């Protein structure tokens, strides 16, 4: 995020700040990497919400993540919707399923971390 190769929607930032913890402190230091939705992104969010009319409290930012990726031609990175390699129940309502329905690339966290040179 610091060098601009990773971005996240402002709605994710807002969700993170609901808790006052280390993750919130981390996000505050990188607030510039969280982008406000453009009009086009907002239109995509509306389309996604038609399939997901009542997102849960923890899923509220998901439509913004998917819409931002679609508009910018990026991939969504997540751990959602997979359980030991196979799809979980209701995967269609989680990031991988919604991404598939909207033609957005989606991958699990280890793939981009490796490509970006992350080490553990």
**3-class secondary-structure state, position 103:** coil
Which tokens in the block code for residue 5? 């190769």
* Residue 117 Cα distances to 5, 7, 82, 110, 113, angstroms: 12, 17, 24, 11, 6
**Pairwise CA distance, residues 7 & 18, whole Å:** 19
Contact partners, residue 13, CB within 8 Å, separation at least 6: 27, 31, 34
pTM: 0.81
Q: Is 8's pLDDT higher than 90?
A: yes
- Binned at pLDDT 50, 70 and 90, residue 102 comes out as very high
Residue 89 has what pLDDT? 61
Contact call for residues 37 and 64 (beta carbons, < 8 A): yes
Q: At what angle do helices 62-72 and 39-51 cross, to 10 degrees?
A: 130
What percent of the chain shows pLDDT beyond 90?
46
How does pLDDT run across 60-97, given as a tens digit for each residue? 899 999 999 999 999 999 877 555 556 556 655 678 88
For the chain, give every domain's residue range: 8-115
Residue 90 has what pLDDT? 61
């Amino acid at each position: 995020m610091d060098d601009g190769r990773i971005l996240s929607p402002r709605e994710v930032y807002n969700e993170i700040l609901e808790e006052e913890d280390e993750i919130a402190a981390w996000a505050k230091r990188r607030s510039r990497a969280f982008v406000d939705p453009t009009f086009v992104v907002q239109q995509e969010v509306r389309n996604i919400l038609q399939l997901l009319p009542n997102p849960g409290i923890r899923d509220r930012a998901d439509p913004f993540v998917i819409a931002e990726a679609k508009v910018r031609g990026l991939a969504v990175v997540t751990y959602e919707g997979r359980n030991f390699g196979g799809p979980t129940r209701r995967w269609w309502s989680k990031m991988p399923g919604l991404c598939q329905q909207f033609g957005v690339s989606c991958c699990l966290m280890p793939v981009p971390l490796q490509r970006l040179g992350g080490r553990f």
